Amino acid sequence: MFRFAHNNLNVLNLERSLKFYAEALDLHEVDGRIDTPDFTIVYLGDSFGSHHKLELTWIKENKTPYNLGDNEFHVAFTTKDFDAAHERHKKMGCICYENEAMGIYFIEDPDGYWLEVLPE
């Protein structure tokens, strides 16, 4: 028996990413940090107590953007108030793709990762 634990995204600037995820998706730090001389790992959770976490890994020596390839992978989030979420992301300027026919859109984080937003 298996349960989802987390997805990992590598980030160039941990504080910038933490700010983005708090503002855009109401995610906050949970479960403590893992801090070593080479890297820091921070787990983010939602306000609903979901078991699934988003792991942000900051490799301290890396100074170049990560190669995301075609960026076809993504993490998806649901929201009860889709219209308010869309307005928030529009004001933030982070909407990178909309598919009105499917009723979804994507936002882009500071490192170029796409995050899907869909109604609950």
Residues 52-66 pLDDT 10s: 999 999 999 999 999
* Among candidate residues 61, 47, 66, 59, the one with its CA nearest the CA of residue 109: 66
Question: Tens digit of pLDDT for each residue in 17-68?
Answer: 999 999 999 999 998 899 999 999 999 999 998 999 999 999 999 999 999 9
CATH class of 6-63+72-119: alpha beta
Q: Which residues contact 24 (CB under 8 A, 6 or more apart)?
A: 88, 89, 92, 94, 107, 109, 115
* Among candidate residues 113, 110, 117, 115, the one with its CA nearest the CA of residue 12: 110
Question: Tens digit of pLDDT for each residue in 69-119?
Answer: 887 889 999 999 999 999 999 999 999 999 999 999 999 999 999 999 999
CA 74 to chain centre: 9
> Where exactly are the structural domains of the chain?
6-63+72-119
Q: pTM value? A: 0.92
